């Protein structure tokens, strides 16, 4: 596999990125997000400094064979216009939290416009490796971290109607308080932009917490930048939903990450 | 189930949201006035961006996708404006146009 080669997403690959659930592995998903029809493989591979090259090539081959990507029709380094992701994967997976969050929150206009032009709205939710079986009468506890009171109200209503048990938090203190409540939440819906704390920081802290680290987290954001999606996935987010969203996505996302039918 | 099927409760929330928009627009315009002036207020710019971002993220979920789109465009129009600097004539015209679109949406 020539590292100067350029791949583009196929219609199937694009659908996979937009879908509410995916059966792809984290590595497959990260590679798929980086495939933009402009960046040569050498540039993409640089984003995975600790990953064996053979594994990367093997994963790309699988994506190609499965029809998620195809030749972009050239092997030149396109240079100008390529999405800038430099530095994202060279940072540690859990870097200085506030700094990394701020970087993700300030993506360039160019990236955002390109994503919108290409129809990228991330609606990704990993499928749980094990299916969750609910006991009779057991309900799912959902922690919703959302600072917009109207949207929070809407989410609470929707979750109640679907027999989930919602628990709401809008800022740092409320998040701490909500996480202390027993039982621990089964899933967290997490807004990226919060008034007094960055959503990515909250994600990292959940994923580094000895008890909470196994709780699936679905990020919700109005910023659909490729880097922001990668930021979430790299930090261990189990799903990524762009706002505004339809409730179908919330419901299917929760079920997907929990392995519920 | 789509939002449309959520029935009366959703309609009530939607009406509440729609009803809150005029006040939100007044607030956005007042924040903009503090940005587009001789001594631009950096705090006002930050709040304006945040409130546009929130509106972009929520309005569509209340069945108002045009408001979401217009708010997102307005947020984009401010994204590279430096704190404390006065917006240029081109940006002012663009932003005012987006405000009008937001008002009509």
Which position has the token pair 């640089």?
Answer: A46
Which residues in chain A touch residue B50, judged by CB atoms under 8 angstroms apart?
193, 195
Is residue B75 within 8 Å of B53, Cβ to Cβ?
yes
Can you give the pLDDT at residue A118? 42
Question: Taking phi first (over 0 means left), then psi (-120 to 50 degrees means alpha), and beta for anything else, what does residue A37 get?
Answer: left
Task: List the single residue in A with minimal CA-CA distance to B79.
Answer: A109
**Residue A208 host element (H or E):** helix A199-208
Check whether B30 has a pLDDT greater than 70: yes
Q: Which two tokens stand for residue A15?
A: 């659908």
Of A109, A221, A246, the CB nearest to B79: A109
Whether A221 has its CB under 8 Å from any CB of chain B: the answer is yes
Whether A245 has its CB under 8 Å from any CB of chain B: the answer is yes
What is the least distance, in Å, from the CA of A186 to any CA of chain B?
Answer: 22
> Which domains occur in chain A, in start order?
7-90 (no CATH), 123-258 (3.40.50.2300)
Q: What is the number of residues in chain A?
A: 261
What is the least distance, in Å, from the CA of B54 to any CA of chain A?
Answer: 7
Closest CA to A69 of A112, A24, A135: A24
Q: What are phi and psi of A69, to 5 degrees?
A: -135, 160
Q: List Cα–Cα distances, A177 to A140, A173, A181, A237, A238, in angstroms.
A: 19, 6, 7, 21, 23
Alpha-carbon torsion A46, A48, A53, A54, what sign? Answer: negative
Alpha-carbon torsion, ordered A88, A91, A94, A95, to 10 deg? -110
Is residue A37 within 8 Å of A72, Cβ to Cβ?
yes
The model's confidence at residue A151, banded by pLDDT at 50, 70 and 90, is very high
Burial grade of A110 (CB within 10 A; 0-12, 13-18, 19 or more): exposed
Q: Say what the pTM is.
A: 0.67
Task: List the single residue in A with minimal CA-CA distance to B53.
Answer: A222
Q: Which two tokens stand for residue B40?
A: 């631009």
Helix (H, G, I), strand (E, B) or coil at B71: helix
Mean pLDDT of A82-101: 33
Of A154, A161, A221, the CB nearest to B61: A154
The model's confidence at residue B47, banded by pLDDT at 50, 70 and 90, is very high
Q: Per-domain residue ranges for chain B?
A: 7-104
What count of other Cβ atoms lies within 10 Å of the Cβ of residue A191? Answer: 23
pLDDT exceeding 90 applies to what percent of chain A? 16
Which position has the token pair 């903009």?
Answer: B32
Can you give the pLDDT at residue A119? 39
Which residues in chain A touch residue B68, judged by CB atoms under 8 angstroms apart?
243-244
Can you give the pLDDT at residue B3? 52
- B contact test, residue of A104, A105, A147, A150 with most B CBs within 10 A: A150
Q: Distance between CA atoms of A209 and A80, rounded to whole angstroms?
A: 41
Q: Which two tokens stand for residue B53?
A: 């971002």
Check whether B69 has a pLDDT greater than 70: yes
pLDDT greater at residue B80 or residue A157: A157
Mean pLDDT of A160-166: 90
Helix (H, G, I), strand (E, B) or coil at A122: coil
Whether A174 has its CB under 8 Å from any CB of chain B: the answer is no
Is residue A9 within 8 Å of A38, Cβ to Cβ?
no
Which residues in chain B touch residue A248, judged by CB atoms under 8 angstroms apart?
1-2
What is the least distance, in Å, from the CA of B77 to any CA of chain A?
Answer: 9
Check whether A243 has a pLDDT greater than 50: yes
Check whether A208 has a pLDDT greater than 60: yes
């Amino acid at each position: 596999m020539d590292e100067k080669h350029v791949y583009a997403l196929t219609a199937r690959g694009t659908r996979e990125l937009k879908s509410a659930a995916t059966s792809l592995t984290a590595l497959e998903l990260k590679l798929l997000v980086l495939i933009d029809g402009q960046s040569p493989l050498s540039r993409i591979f640089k984003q995975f400094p600790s990953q064996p090259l053979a594994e990367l090539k093997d994963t790309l081959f699988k994506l190609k064979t499965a029809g998620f990507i195809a030749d972009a029709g050239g092997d030149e380094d396109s240079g100008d216009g390529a999405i800038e992701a430099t530095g994202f994967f060279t940072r540690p997976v859990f870097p200085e939290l506030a700094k990394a969050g701020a970087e993700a929150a300030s993506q360039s206009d160019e990236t955002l416009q390109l994503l919108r032009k290409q129809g990228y709205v991330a609606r990704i939710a990993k499928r749980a490796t094990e299916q969750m079986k609910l006991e009779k009468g057991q309900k799912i506890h959902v922690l919703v971290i959302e600072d917009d009171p109207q949207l929070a109200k809407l989410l609470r209503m929707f979750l109640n109607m679907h027999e989930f048990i919602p628990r709401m938090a809008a800022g740092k203190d409320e998040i701490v308080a909500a996480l202390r409540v027993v039982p621990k939440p089964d899933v967290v819906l997490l807004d990226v932009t919060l008034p007094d704390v960055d959503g990515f920081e909250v994600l990292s802290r959940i994923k580094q917490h000895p008890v909470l680290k196994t709780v699936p987290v679905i990020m919700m954001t109005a910023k659909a930048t490729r880097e922001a999606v990668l930021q979430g996935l790299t930090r261990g987010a189990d799903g990524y939903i762009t706002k505004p969203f339809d409730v179908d996505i919330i419901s299917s996302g929760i079920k997907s990450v929990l392995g519920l039918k | 189930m789509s939002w449309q099927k959520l029935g009366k409760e959703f309609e009530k929330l939607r009406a509440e949201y729609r009803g809150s928009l005029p006040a939100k627009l007044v607030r956005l315009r007042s924040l903009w006035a503090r940005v587009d002036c001789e001594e631009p207020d950096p705090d006002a710019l930050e709040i304006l961006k945040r409130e546009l971002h929130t509106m972009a993220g929520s309005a569509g979920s209340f069945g108002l996708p045009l408001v979401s789109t217009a708010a997102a465009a307005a947020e984009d129009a401010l994204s590279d404006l430096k704190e404390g600097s006065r917006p240029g004539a081109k940006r002012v015209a663009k932003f005012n146009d987006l405000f009008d679109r937001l008002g009509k949406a």
